[in-house]
């Protein structure tokens, strides 16, 4: 049971001086850039003016900038980051021992803040720019609730109104999430709701629906554009979000430098791609510049398999079709993930930047069913002492599988994964797992066809 003190500590923290002062913009190093957002009416790339009706001006600039590799992090945001960052890079000694693997397993742990996840990195940034622009408030959607909680925290810190549309399934499964957001002063509405046109329409068509991220996005956008002094903010998918989340990867990269280790495999769970895109950013940069090579693995739920079973197409990001079109791996804006699926990673699409990188063969993707994901979660919790979020547990499962392959081959690979958050609000799912009543739903080919039925006309490229 004992473990000798080794030269590599259990946890590696950067000092506050070593924390990143700039975000890294991976698009700057991509020869073929991600496809631009497109106006669904004209099928032409969205202009800054068009986007500024929905998003804060500074964030629009970041969204469109695919040439500047490093962008300064304003001091106010660095100050906010210091409240809960740097996050530790943890060596999973106990998991390695449990698996009896020669692999070295590391994880970057983003759960040490009350929002329970990495989402706070972008929430703080977007709230800051909204405040700076003199706005009154922001609207958003949340699925599992991590993004909504993060944004509520950020808005209460910077003094902004915060209106959250929460996917109905999650709203019902996670009443306590709502209370955390309320404690931070946010207004939370179950989506679809009767407070927006798009919500009322959907409720009429599907009265019993548990909602979807796509629908909650439509409601939040409508609530923003019909209100003076409000803008819409999004916690994933967008280029700006991946930019903000690059702090995860930059800290990870520097922590590995400090301990003199180079990772071989980098693993992250992928819903809209915010965590994965952030974690891999500087490593992908090295790969794009031909300086180093890494295996990079995206992990997604078998019940919502955008990368592994989706199509690379222009599609709406929302169900109500009020958003611009994005070229991405998508299951179609008509796809509704099964309510059996716990936690996040329920979005029908995927970050356009990651989609392009995946299409270029620069990263792999794999999918898992939720019961095997919870088995990995339980094993991890019991030896590493952290109850992981279901989302993060997808990455745990993939890391365990890679470590077990190393056991077969005897290879001492360095594996790192993103432990994006904690499972404190996922106990209904853990209870199902503990009771042995957890199942999963894998979409049939017919389900996937139905999801793609509403894909819009494709712009010329």
List residues binding a second copy (CB under 8 A).
1-5, 9-11, 13, 15-17, 75-76, 79, 82-84, 94, 112-114, 120, 153, 156-158, 175-176, 179-180, 182-185, 378, 381-387, 422, 424-425, 427, 430-431, 433-434
Give min distance, CB of 459 to a second copy, in A. Answer: 41
User: Cβ of residue 168: shortest distance to a second copy, in angstroms?
Assistant: 19
Nearer to a second copy, 16 or 257 (CB): 16
- Number of Cβ within a 10 Å radius of residue 44: 12
Answer yes or no: are the C-beta atoms of 195 and 139 closer than 8 Å: no
Q: How far is the CB of 220 from a second copy (least distance, A)?
A: 22
Task: Give the per-residue SS3 of the chain.
Answer: CCCCCCCCCCEECCCCCCCCCEEECHHHHCCCCCCCCECCCCCCECCHHHHCCCCCHHHHHHHHCCCCCEEECCHHHHHHHHHHCCCCEEECHHHHHHHCCCCEEEEEECCCCCCCECCHHHHHHHHHHHHHCCCCEEEEEECCCHHHHHHHHHHHHHCCEEEEEEEHHHHHHCHHHHHHHHHCCCEEEEECCCCCHHHHHHHHHCCCCCCCHHHHHHHHHHHHHCCCCEEECCCCCCHHHHHHHHHHHHHHHHHHHHHCCCCCEEEEECCCCHHHHHHHHHHHHHHHCCCCCCEEEEEEECCCCHHHHCEEEEEECCCCCCCCEEEEEECCCCCCCCCCCCCCCCCCCCCHHHHHHHHCCCCEEEEECHHHHHHHHHHHHHHHCCCECHHHHHHHHHHHHHHHHHHHHCCCCEEEEEECEECCCCHHHHHHHHHCCCCCCCCCHHHHHHHHHHCCCCCCC
Contact partners, residue 288, CB within 8 Å, separation at least 6 = 26, 29, 30, 31, 362
* Least distance to a second copy, CB of residue 396, Å: 14
Q: In whole angstroms, how close is the CB of 290 to a second copy at the nearest point?
A: 36
* Cβ distance to a second copy smaller for residue 317 or 403: 403
Nearer to a second copy by Cβ, of 76 and 359: the residue is: 76
Between residues 66 and 76, which has the closer beta carbon with respect to a second copy? 76
If the CB atoms of residues 93 and 454 are measured against a second copy, the closer one turns out to be 93
CB of 152 to a second copy, least distance (A): 10
Q: Give least dist CB 284 to a second copy, A.
A: 29
Could you tell me the smallest distance in angstroms from the CB atom of residue 425 to a second copy?
7
Minimal distance, residue 176 CB to a second copy, in Å: 4
Comparison of 81 and 329: residue with beta carbon closer to a second copy: 81
Closest approach, Cβ 106 to a second copy, in A, equals 14
Half-sphere exposure of 265 (CA within 13 A, CB side): 27
Residue found under tokens 């965590």: 275
In the block, residue with structure tokens 């709203």: 171
Q: Which of 151, 217, 134, 232 is nearest to 186 (CA)?
A: 151
Compare residues 65 and 378 and give the one whose CB is closer to a second copy.
378
Closer by beta carbon to a second copy, 24 or else 80? 80
Q: 274 vs 393, which CB is nearer to a second copy?
A: 393
Least distance CB 126 / a second copy (angstroms): 15
Q: Which is nearer to a second copy, 185 or 229 (CB)?
A: 185
Residue number with CB closer to a second copy (264 or 384): 384
């Amino acid at each position: 049971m004992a473990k000798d003190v080794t030269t590599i500590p259990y946890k590696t923290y950067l000092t506050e001086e070593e924390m990143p002062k700039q975000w890294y913009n991976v698009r700057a190093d991509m020869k073929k850039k991600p496809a631009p957002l497109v106006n669904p009416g004209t099928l032409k790339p969205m202009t800054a003016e068009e986007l500024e009706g929905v998003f804060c001006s500074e964030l629009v600039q970041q969204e469109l900038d695919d040439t500047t590799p490093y962008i300064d992090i304003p001091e106010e945001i660095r100050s906010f980051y210091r409240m809960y960052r740097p996050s530790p890079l943890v060596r999973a000694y106990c998991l390695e021992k449990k698996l009896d693997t020669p692999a070295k397993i590391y994880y970057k742990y983003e759960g040490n803040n009350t929002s329970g996840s990495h989402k706070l990195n972008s929430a703080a940034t977007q709230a800051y720019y909204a405040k700076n622009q003199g706005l009154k408030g922001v609207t958003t959607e949340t699925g599992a609730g991590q993004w909504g909680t993060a944004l509520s925290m950020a808005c209460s810190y910077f003094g902004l109104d915060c209106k959250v549309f929460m996917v109905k399934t999650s709203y019902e499964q996670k009443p306590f999430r709502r209370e955390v957001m309320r404690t931070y002063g946010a207004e939370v509405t179950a989506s679809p709701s009767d407070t927006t046109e798009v919500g009322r329409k959907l409720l009429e068509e599907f009265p019993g629906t548990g909602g979807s991220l796509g629908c909650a996005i439509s409601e939040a956008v409508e609530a923003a554009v019909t209100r003076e002094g409000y803008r819409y903010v999004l916690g994933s998918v967008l280029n700006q979000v991946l930019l903000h989340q690059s702090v995860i990867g930059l800290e990870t990269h520097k922590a590995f430098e400090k301990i003199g280790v180079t990772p071989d495999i980098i693993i992250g769970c992928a819903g809209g791609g915010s965590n994965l895109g952030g974690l891999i950013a500087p490593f992908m940069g090295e790969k794009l510049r031909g300086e180093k090579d890494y295996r990079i693995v995206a992990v997604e739920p078998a019940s919502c398999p955008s990368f592994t079973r989706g199509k690379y197409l222009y599609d709406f990001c929302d169900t109500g079709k009020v958003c611009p079109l994005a070229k991405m791996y998508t299951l179609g804006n008509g796809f509704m993930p099964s309510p059996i699926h716990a936690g996040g990673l329920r979005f029908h699409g995927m970050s356009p930047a990651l989609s392009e990188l995946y299409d270029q063969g620069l990263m792999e993707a794999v999918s898992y069913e939720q019961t095997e994901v919870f088995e990995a979660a339980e094993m991890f919790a019991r030896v590493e002492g952290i109850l992981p979020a279901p989302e993060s547990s997808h990455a745990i499962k993939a890391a365990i599988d890679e470590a077990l392959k190393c056991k077969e081959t005897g290879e001492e690979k360095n594996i790192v994964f993103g432990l994006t958050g904690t499972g404190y609000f996922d106990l209904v799912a853990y209870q199902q797992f503990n009771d042995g009543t957890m199942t999963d739903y894998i979409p049939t080919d017919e389900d996937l066809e139905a999801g793609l039925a509403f894909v819009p006309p494709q712009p010329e490229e």
